Amino acid sequence: EPEVTQTPSHQVTQMGQEVILRCVPISNHLYFYWYRQILGQKVEFLVSFYNNEISEKSEIFDDQFSVERPDGSNFTLKIRSTKLEDSAMYFCASRSDREGTDTQYFGPGTRLTVL
Residues 65-104 that bind other proteins (CB under 8 A): 89, 91, 93, 95, 102-104
CB 103 within 8 A of CB 39: no
What does each C-alpha distance from 79 to 2, 99, 104, 105, 106 come to in angstroms? 28, 33, 23, 23, 20
Among 76, 3, 2, 73, CA closest to 33:
76
For other proteins, the binding residue among 7, 45, 60, 66 (CB under 8 A) is 45
Quote the CA–CA distance of 93 and 25 in Å, as a whole number.
Answer: 7
24 in contact with other proteins (CB under 8 A): no
Task: Pick the stretch among 11-19, 64-72, 75-83, 105-113 that binds other proteins (CB under 8 A).
Answer: 105-113
109 in contact with other proteins (CB under 8 A): yes
50 in contact with other proteins (CB under 8 A): yes
Residues that bind other proteins (CB under 8 A): 31, 33, 35, 41-45, 48, 50, 55-56, 58, 89, 91, 93, 95, 102-109, 111
